[in-house]
Structure 1
Amino acid sequence: MGFNFFVQSNIRFGRGVSEELPQIICGYGMKNVMVVYDQGVKAAGISEKVLEQVNKAGVKVTIFDKVIPNPTNEIVEEAAVIAKKAEIDGFVAVGGGSSIDLAKAINVLMTNPGSIGQYGGVGMVKNPVLPLIAIPTTAGTSSEITNVSALIDTEKVIKYVVIDNNITPSDVIADPEFTVTMPASVTAATGMDAITHAVESYISNMATPLSEYNSLKGLQIIYNNLSKAVKNGNDMDAREQMMLGCIITGFAFSNANLGLVHAIAHTLSAHFKLAHGMANATVLPYVMEFNAESCPEKMVELAKAIGLATSGNIHSDKYLLSKELLKLTKDLEIKTLSEQGIKEEDLEMLAGDVLHEPVLNFNPRQNVTKENVMDILRKAF
């Protein structure tokens, strides 16, 4: 047996750990810091709290608050110009996956030549980047500890990923108090994103014993706490557990990769700007049903991990997970594709584009056809 398992970030976890931010900044000797966040983080008052801590470090601060959902090449390039002009020597990213992914991408261009589009793929970032402190405000994307930045190429109309160990945030401040302001719908969607990461990484054809352990543990924690966090956003124990489960799951999928759910979600986001977590959640049950025949034993293990009663008949037990995920999405009021604005005539185009997604290489069921994807999309419609 032989495998690689990569973990890099220095993680500070718990309520109130945001107060350690000045110490981290000073530890790197930063002088010019760019703080990256979106308008939602600003409206929630979180950016003000973070900036208060950044200012305690006595550094010059440049704010980039134009983060958009599913950040594009253009927004990366715009922010990179500002960062270079300000001679930024470190980043603080505050928010969900979009803010942290954007900061990772800007960071690439600080020490590597050319445009961000040329770094799509695996292992393309040759030069080390600047320190990046990630402060997540959601519990779902795991971007704070992964080596992935997901971006939209508006010219090619695709969502692509930069995957490189160099871009993993150097430090993480995981303070569950920053997730309390999330609306129930966002809590649900981001939580389902984390569940997707757990199950897809577990059945990935690149899974290893270490990634599988983290997949299962992360799934258990998230499944047991997601509904609690959605029903009562002030349940700090549930919020804390959701953030913990998200980090654990991130260790899994950043090493084992993902599959068909993400291939479909990337395509939906590229064409229709669907929120990533919602796109994943909408198709997750149907993709797990589709994949069940290729990895029945693993589907049963996932079902057992969340306490589902198995019968001992693998032919029926392999579908327990997909049925439970469908029930969960309905309980959490996850929208169907049609409710998210997708039209029936869009499905064939989407299905064709899904087949070009590189992440399909890691799906346990290979040789996915256009008709396979069409069938999944119809069920999710």
Structure 2
Amino acid sequence: MSGAPAVRIARNAAQRSTSLLRAIQFAHPPTCPCHSNPNHHHAPGTFSSARRALATPIDHSRQKEYAFEMAASSIRFGPGCTKEVGMDMQNLGSKRVCVVTDKNVSKLDAMKQVHEGLGKVGIEYTVYDRCRTEPKDSSIKEAIDFAKPYQPDAFLAVGGGSVIDTAKLMNLYTSFPDAEFLDFVNAPLGKGMPIPGKLRPLVAVPTTAGTGSETTGTAIFDLVEKKAKTGIAHRNLKPTLGICDPLNTRTMPSAVHSSSGLDVLCHSLESWTAIPYHERTPRPENPINRPAYQGANPISDIFSLKALHSTVQYLPRAVKDPEDFEAQSEMLLAATLAGVGFGNAGVHLCHGMSYPISGQNPGYKHKGYVTDNTIIPHGVSVAVTAPAVFKFTGASNPDRHLAAAEAFGVDISRVKRESAGEVLSEALAEFLVKLGDQPRGLKDLGFKNEHIDDLVEGTIPQQRVLMLAPTLSNEVNEERGQLRQLFEQSMSY
């Protein structure tokens, strides 16, 4: 083929490719004001559009980021798909599997399916069932000590985010047995070293609808000595496969539905409002050092906003009616969507502030949780500051905050942009109150004003997420003052 027809075909193909790329990069619901306004994001101090970012010359002097990476586990979603897990491990070539769970989940049908599936294909396996809800460094080390001598060639996690995160770290330190525990832990609490190579296969079977851990490269735990919650974040931690079976979430008590759903809510809101990826500094000299949490980007936006809409619609139903299987299924899907979104864009203030809230628990035990330990569930600890946080961040990007408020059913047609944060804050508070059985501030968790200084100091080390927070100062003393004000405002709502 030659001449004019070939030129026209090439030109048409190029135009189609360009149109498709633009559709992918800028695909948002038509009601989203962030993208219906062609001038949006061009003002100083707000998001720049992806189009503008791609057209802007690389800023060598400031070393801003110029690229983002999308990474997520393979996901299988569908009722009953847990029964395929034996074949999955066989297809991965596994012959010696470490199954990771906890005492409660070990009695449920999900584990029955695992026993039957692995037994049917004749794979050798052992079960570690001592995972702790909201794991501590001590419980993680105990799990690692169990896995190392067994030397599995694959891991299978069955449970909530705590179980899956524990399995990720068992996998990490079994794959790199000579590493010290703090080598990979997020700086400044740990050394923050990148994971140097691939890990063994890990299949994750979530039994809660919240963390999205089945698709992320993040594992969170309490570092007791530092009185801080931290973790490890790297793409190599991602499970090989997430098996999302809605039948497995039907056993969740209402309180667990509620708190895990609040984690989805904040995952989606924080990743949607995080700084854009091209505003993050410094740009890594080697791509292996590009962080898992990169800032909002055109692909994560799609997942985050969809997860937010689904959570607002289905979480109240899932909490209210234990027989509403449609709502439960949709919440599991929302958790996974939010996992892809925040697993690449990151979270910011709600999560950064939640870590000392959980780690410095003054003695609170959340109603509806089957545990002998005092516990502030992770979803509760992130949501309790959300009204104050999004009122604070509203000025950074009014249009994104208005789009989020619209997801809660707010008519934003006459709302002034300068009121965006306040409007979203009020919508969030109303949603939390209507959800029921939620602490209405830090006071309800047992915190007092004299605890605020320790909460601030416990938040400061969370730079991995704080760096993605819009409107938060880079100057330490000013940052402390802003965090103090946020904790004060979060004492009650």
What is the CA deviation profile of residues 102-161 of structure 1, one whole-angstrom value per residue up to 9, with x for unaligned ones?
100110011113233211136621121011000111111111100111122222222112
* Residue pair 1:199, 1:215 contacting (<8 A) in 2 also: yes
The AA in structure 2 aligned to 1:284 is A
Q: Percent identity?
A: 30
Q: Choose from 348, 368, 372 the match for 1:259.
A: 348
Distance 1:78 1:212, change over 3 A: same
Partner of 1:285: 387
Cα shift at 1:51: 2.4
- Asked if residue 46 in structure 1 is aligned to residue 151 in structure 2, the reply is no
Partners of 2:69 and 2:422 lie apart in 1 by: 30
Question: Counting helix residues as a fraction of each chain, which structure ranks higher?
Answer: 1
* Residue pair 2:202, 2:241 contacting (<8 A) in 1 also: yes
- Asked if residue 199 in structure 1 is aligned to residue 308 in structure 2, the reply is no
- Asked if residue 117 in structure 1 is aligned to residue 182 in structure 2, the reply is yes
* Residue pair 1:120, 1:160 contacting (<8 A) in 2 also: yes
When normalised by structure 2's length, the TM-score is 0.74
Partner of 1:234: 323
Cα shift at 1:86: 1.4
Partners of 1:238 and 1:60 lie apart in 2 by: 37
- Asked if residue 354 in structure 1 is aligned to residue 455 in structure 2, the reply is no
Matches within 5 A, 1:325-364: 325-332=428-435, 333-335=437-439, 336-358=441-463, 359-364=465-470
- Asked if residue 73 in structure 1 is aligned to residue 178 in structure 2, the reply is no
3-state SS, counterpart of residue 104 of structure 2: helix
When normalised by structure 1's length, the TM-score is 0.95
- Asked if residue 156 in structure 1 is aligned to residue 226 in structure 2, the reply is yes
Cα shift at 1:312: 4.1
Partner of 2:260: 190
Distance 1:350 1:208, change over 3 A: same
The AA in structure 1 aligned to 2:329 is E
Cα shift at 1:305: 3.5
- After the TM superposition, which of the residue ranges 48-57 and 353-362 deviates more from structure 2? 48-57
What is the CA deviation profile of residues 186-237 of structure 1, one whole-angstrom value per residue up to 9, with x for unaligned ones?
1111111101000100111121111111111111111110001001122111
Question: Which structure 1 residue ranges, 5 or more long, are not aligned?
Answer: none
Matches within 5 A, 1:274-313: 274-310=376-412, 311-313=414-416
The AA in structure 2 aligned to 1:13 is F
Partners of 2:272 and 2:193 lie apart in 1 by: 23
Q: Choose from 249, 274, 298 the match for 2:338.
A: 249
- After the TM superposition, which of the residue ranges 75-84 and 181-190 deviates more from structure 2? 75-84
Cα shift at 1:27: 0.5
The AA in structure 2 aligned to 1:377 is F
Question: Which structure 2 residue ranges, 5 or more long, are not aligned?
Answer: 1-53, 55-65, 187-191, 276-294, 362-374
Partners of 2:449 and 2:114 lie apart in 1 by: 44
- Asked if residue 377 in structure 1 is aligned to residue 487 in structure 2, the reply is yes
What is the CA deviation profile of residues 24-43 of structure 1, one whole-angstrom value per residue up to 9, with x for unaligned ones?
01001211111111122134
Distance 1:365 1:317, change over 3 A: closer
Distance 1:211 1:279, change over 3 A: same
3-state SS, counterpart of residue 373 of structure 1: helix
Partners of 1:268 and 1:150 lie apart in 2 by: 14
Distance 1:43 1:331, change over 3 A: farther
* Residue pair 2:395, 2:420 contacting (<8 A) in 1 also: no
Partner of 2:31: none
Partners of 1:85 and 1:6 lie apart in 2 by: 35
RMSD: 1.7
The AA in structure 2 aligned to 1:257 is G
Partners of 2:468 and 2:265 lie apart in 1 by: 17
What is the CA deviation profile of residues 292-321 of structure 1, one whole-angstrom value per residue up to 9, with x for unaligned ones?
122212101212244320114212244222
* Residue pair 2:156, 2:204 contacting (<8 A) in 1 also: yes
- After the TM superposition, which of the residue ranges 5-14 and 177-186 deviates more from structure 2? 5-14
Partners of 1:110 and 1:87 lie apart in 2 by: 7
* Residue pair 2:87, 2:117 contacting (<8 A) in 1 also: no
Q: Choose from 93, 105, 108 the match for 2:157.
A: 93
The AA in structure 2 aligned to 1:114 is A
The AA in structure 1 aligned to 2:171 is N
Bigger radius of gyration among the two? 2
Q: Choose from 67, 70, 73 the match for 1:6.
A: 70
Partners of 1:315 and 1:77 lie apart in 2 by: 48
